[in-house]
Amino acid sequence: MKMYDIIKKKRDGEELSAAEMAYVVEGAVTGSIADYQLTALLMAIFFQGMGERETADLTAALAASGTQIVLDSLKAVDKHSTGGVGDTTTLIVAPVVAACGVPVAKMTGRGLGHTGGTVDKLESIPGFSSALPPEQFRAQVAKLGLALASASAELVPADKVLYALRDVTATVESVPLIASSIMSKKIAAGATHIVLDVKYGRGAFMQEQHAAELLATTMVDIGQRVGRPTTAILTSMDAPLGNAIGNALEIKEALAILSGSGGSPDLRAVSLAIAREMVLHYYPHFSPDAAQHMAEHALSSGAAMQKFAAVVAAQGGDLTRPLPTASLSYTVTAPRGGYVAAIDPLALGSIAVDLGAGRHKKDDPIDYGAGMVLHARVGTRVAFGQPLLTAYASGVVSTETQAALNSAVRIADSLVTPTPLILKTVAATAPPDVH
């Protein structure tokens, strides 16, 4: 088998075989295939695309390229979000679902660009460790029904090689490559069922609805073909989902929702919708209403809060100690009376990175107390001088950042109807075809 022939085949629009995909993935891991040849293939895929079977074959090969966690006979559900601003769903969904008796094996990641990462949020809790060896990860899922871990270097190493090349060759925006990258990590992490929260809108990676829907459909099809039942929910990211943006600030909001003491109603609603789908995967005989009721009860009864506290303690965290806080703040107030017509999630996510809540480079330190809190949401009626949001940082907020914050919220004279939070659910239309 020759890489030249594989590149030529894909360049000409032909489908690659499972054996050819396995050859490419193995060569990426071992270094036996040169970067320039891998890049040529990625560019050919970018322009020619991949078929459903072909995409599933690439996903399976990627998942098999490193360590794969096997949960033995345990049936476990995982969830994944394609990234957003103020998107703290994992910290709410995972304990809610685990409190419903559904094991959750959650491998999670760090922040990417303007979107926050669950690992960074969890590590703002004093003492918390997300580095769980596979044995501990497996044992904790079996004992507590939930583990929240960062992906190890041994998990899907081929994807790390290919993604690094995609990142510098303008081939990131390929639906088959995005789908196989996401799904390979979910499969390697051991979950038997997967629920995806696919974002669309101004603050999402996929800003156009049709692109997000295509990505959702592609990932659901992959799950079906590799024997991992998958459901995707399309949710809006035209405004921040939660009221908090930033690591410790988002932990505080998650705790408020788990304890019933506050938090964004939008964040709560989307979290419960994801939880419902995860419960339905585990209890397929349930009706959607029954699954929704079970998730709501786990939240309102305090069971989800107890589950989260137990998992944090098991991973070395201490919720009795204060979370990091920033020393300085800047508040944006309404320049006039009216209604909040728009809150730009992309702008606020990028500003949060500048404040220290995220990274410009992968080795940048995180300021866990930095970020911002919204005091109004789209559709809120506000008076002149009313606080709209407060930004927090360890250093002085520059005049340029102040100007960007002021322009991120738009006020209108008339009421604006927010974009619907949940557009649709995408599920497989046939039983999984194990291949």
Q: Catalytic residues, which ones?
A: 80, 159, 166, 181, 185
State the amino acid at position 266 in one-letter form: D
Backbone angles phi, psi at 62, to 5 degrees: -60, -45
Residue 392 CA: distances (Å) to CA of 6, 85, 405, 430: 51, 16, 12, 49
Q: Which two tokens stand for residue 11?
A: 């360049």
The Cβ-side half-sphere exposure at 70, using a 13 Å CA radius, reads 4
Residues 6+ apart with CB under 8 A from 202: 237, 238, 239, 344, 345, 346
Q: Which two tokens stand for residue 72?
A: 């033995």
Q: Which two tokens stand for residue 256?
A: 């408020």
- CA–CA separation, 348 vs 373, rounded Å? 10
C-alpha triplet 257, 81, 372: angle, nearest 5°: 50
Question: Which residues are bridge partners to 372 per DSSP?
Answer: 245, 391
Question: Are the CB atoms for 55 and 233 separated by under 8 Å?
Answer: no
Q: Which two tokens stand for residue 259?
A: 């304890």
